[in-house]
Amino acid sequence: MTTTDTISPPLDGVASSTSPPIHPLHVGRLPRGQYRIDGELGLRLVALWHVVGIAAAFVALVATLNPAGNEGLPGAIRFLLLGVHALAVLGHAYSAVGVRNRWRRARTISLLTNYLLLVVSASAALHQLDAFRAIGALGQGFNKGFVPFLVVLVGVIWTAVARNLRLRAPESPAPPVLHTAGRVIIAAGAVWFVIAADPIGLLERIVDGLSRPLTLGALLVAVAAGLACSFMWQPRIAAVFGTTKSQADALAGLAFLSPNILGFLFFFAGPLIFSLVVSFFDWTTTNTSREFVFLDNYIRALSLDVASTDAGNAGTEVLNNGYQVLANIDWFGQHLVIGARDVEFWLSLRNIIVFMVLAVPLSVLPALGLSSILASRLPGMKVFRAIYFVPSVAGVIGVSIIWGQLFQSTVGWINYLITRIADVLPFVDPPASGQPWLSDDSTALFSLVVVFAWMLFGFNTVLYLAGHQGISKELYEAAEIDGASTWRIFRRITVPQLRATTFYIVTVTSILALQLFDIVWVLSTPEPGGPDNATTTPVLTLYEEAFRDNNTGYASALAWVLFLMIFGLTFSQFRRQRDEAST
């Protein structure tokens, strides 16, 4: 069968050579007394279901257009809902007509429409039943339901053994009985587990939820959409619509990928687009009236004002209204006062640029040198590879807490080691009271650089080790024969051959540096971003705007400014890499 061949309909029984061909929609008998629904009737029911879907989606579309029922809903969100409902109307309409007339693409559109409807309605029903919190509560009560859980486990093993016996002896009546008994054990154990481990009354919630029309309607819609998907998925229905093998394989692949695709759309792409919409509004969590301000949030974040004055250390009196002093600079005998509408954000940009300039080389260059040593065949190298990789798998919060104790000014190990070194080396003169690494604005950011570089050092080393595997050993052998020194081999062979790996590591490390948050949140004192905004970062700034000051719209604008910075840096690195590869 070629990739353009249509799927052959499955036979319902064994037909002789003189028997008439079996139509794909024939009502046939399946093994073990099961019957199929009539194909023609099933397609009519699916078409009728799509007609009902048209009506429901159209009602939702009209409800979204009604301004009385959507007060406080931003225009962009309403426009997005209108698009979703309009697509639902079009999908149901095409499927209703196409299924009835056997259009080739109607099966695919019907499957997609019903599958999305199944996911949305099932999620709504589970939310109405409070099932997500109930599942977590079941996990908390697992100790109470340990015995019924063992019963379920025994039932699963029993069913697997019975299934194996059924395959070995299909004519024997015993395996089916054992298989049915295993299912009964699983069902009984599951019910017992829910009753024993249910601390919040899951069964009561289900009964109460089913009594509510909204929950019951969502469940009925989910069941109907699921049945329609199951029916349209059958190979005999695919044969009716002329589905080719390549199309069937593509649908099967999309079905397996759909959980990840939907997760990406709902939990990444959807919130990302929503944050872009929110960034154009004066959106606060405490105010339901959200005003469309277009680019005002971005203008507020990026606005700067420069004033020239003869007085040193001038204040806001020389700046425009709404601006605060960001810096005082002496430039060729002239004193300049630079102001910003959001001083904290510009300070965070300064800090993160300095942090990236220091942290990226400390994370990359030592890893390059160490990987060259670990790539050798010296004894014990595998043990050292594991040791250097350990910081990469350790928890960020736990590691940050340990480093906080190391940086402690009075009893920290770093000051203690400096004191011991000073006892041996007389030219080392540590402070008498110890260095306050994290509470001094001159050393706090550098301390975070050390922690960041230490945590990524091992991971970058492993990446370089993987790059070493792609370097031909013949190059090293030829260099050694020519009498090249170790440094010359490293500079002329290792570094150029690892150019692609270096590009990847530098790019990823730069992105992680620009997104710095967790280390600052744990280590900075006396509060996150301290002292005196010396360690504040853009991510920390937008977090505080969103969750401390409730300025969600402005925080979204800051997030997109940071995104554009990261995108611009990454794009320039890709351009540079491509230009170097072309030369």
**Tokens found for residue 444:** 């706090």
Distance of CA 163 to the CA centre of its chain: 39
- The residue among 201 and 52 whose pLDDT is bigger is 52
In degrees, to the nearest 5, what angle opens at C-alpha 115 toward C-alphas 113 and 116? 70
- The residue among 288 and 226 whose pLDDT is bigger is 226
pLDDT-derived band at 312 (thresholds 50, 70, 90) equals low
Q: What is the mean pLDDT of the chain?
A: 82
**528: helix, strand or coil:** coil
Whether 406 has a pLDDT exceeding 60, the answer reads yes
User: Which residues contact residue 182 at a Cβ distance below 8 angstroms, ignoring those fewer than 6 apart?
Assistant: 155, 156, 158, 159, 161, 162
Helix residue ranges per DSSP H, 129-173? 131-140, 146-168
pLDDT value of position 224: 92
**Tokens found for residue 206:** 């289900």
The one-letter amino acid code at 464 reads: Y
Task: Measure Cα distances from 511 to 356, 462, 467, 568 in Å.
Answer: 9, 18, 21, 11
- Rg (alpha carbons) of the chain, rounded to whole number: 33
**Tokens found for residue 437:** 């690494």
Q: Going along 367-418, which residue ranges are E strands?
A: none
Cα–Cα distance between 435 and 419 in angstroms, integer?
11
**Tokens found for residue 399:** 């590691």
pLDDT value of position 29: 44
- Specify the residue for token string 């929950």: 215
The one-letter amino acid code at 235 reads: P
| Phi, psi of 555, deg, nearest 5 | -65, -35
Q: Which fold has domain 343-582?
A: MetI-like fold (1.10.3720)
pLDDT value of position 42: 86
pLDDT value of position 28: 45
pTM assigned to the model: 0.74
On whether the CB atoms of residues 492 and 551 are closer than 8 A, the answer is no
**Lowest-confidence pick of 62-76, 157-171, 375-389, 410-424:** 62-76
| H-run or E-run covering 467 | helix 444-468
Delimit the domains of the chain by residue range: 31-134+210-278, 142-197, 304-340, 343-582
Q: Dump pLDDT digits (tens) for 254-279.
A: 999 999 998 898 888 888 888 998 89
In this prediction, what percent of the chain has a pLDDT beyond 70? Answer: 85
Cα–Cα distance between 210 and 204 in angstroms, integer?
10
Q: Dump pLDDT digits (tens) for 508-541.
A: 999 999 999 999 999 988 888 888 889 999 999 9
On whether the CB atoms of residues 570 and 507 are closer than 8 A, the answer is yes
pLDDT-derived band at 98 (thresholds 50, 70, 90) equals very high
Whether 35 has a pLDDT exceeding 50, the answer reads no
pLDDT value of position 32: 44
Cα–Cα distance between 32 and 67 in angstroms, integer?
57
Cα–Cα distance between 546 and 561 in angstroms, integer?
15
Give pairs for 401-408: CB < 8 Å, separation 24+.
401/522, 403/447, 403/450, 403/451, 403/454, 403/523, 404/438, 404/522, 404/523, 407/437, 407/438, 407/447, 407/523
Least Cα distance to 361 among 460, 441, 447 occurs for 460
Q: Averaged over 113-118, what is the pLDDT? A: 92
First to last CA, the chain: 48
pLDDT-derived band at 149 (thresholds 50, 70, 90) equals confident
Task: Measure Cα distances from 331 to 30, 262, 306, 325 in Å.
Answer: 89, 55, 12, 17
**Tokens found for residue 539:** 């991510």
In degrees, to the nearest 5, what angle opens at C-alpha 87 toward C-alphas 86 and 89? 65
pLDDT-derived band at 1 (thresholds 50, 70, 90) equals very low
In this prediction, what percent of the chain has a pLDDT beyond 90? Answer: 27
Q: Which residues pair with 306 in a beta bridge?
A: 338
Least Cα distance to 322 among 299, 296, 340 occurs for 340
Cα–Cα distance between 506 and 129 in angstroms, integer?
48
In this structure, how many other beta carbons lie within 10 angstroms of the beta carbon of residue 495?
13
In this structure, how many other beta carbons lie within 10 angstroms of the beta carbon of residue 50?
25
Whether 355 has a pLDDT exceeding 90, the answer reads yes
Q: Dump pLDDT digits (tens) for 416-455.
A: 888 888 777 776 666 656 778 888 888 899 999 999 999 8
Angle between helices 75-101 and 270-278 (to 10 degrees): 140
Give pairs for 403-407: CB < 8 Å, separation 24+.
403/447, 403/450, 403/451, 403/454, 403/523, 404/438, 404/522, 404/523, 407/437, 407/438, 407/447, 407/523
Helix %, strand %, coil % for the chain, to 5? Answer: 70, 5, 25
Whether 13 has a pLDDT exceeding 50, the answer reads no
On whether the CB atoms of residues 327 and 533 are closer than 8 A, the answer is no
Cα–Cα distance between 251 and 115 in angstroms, integer?
12
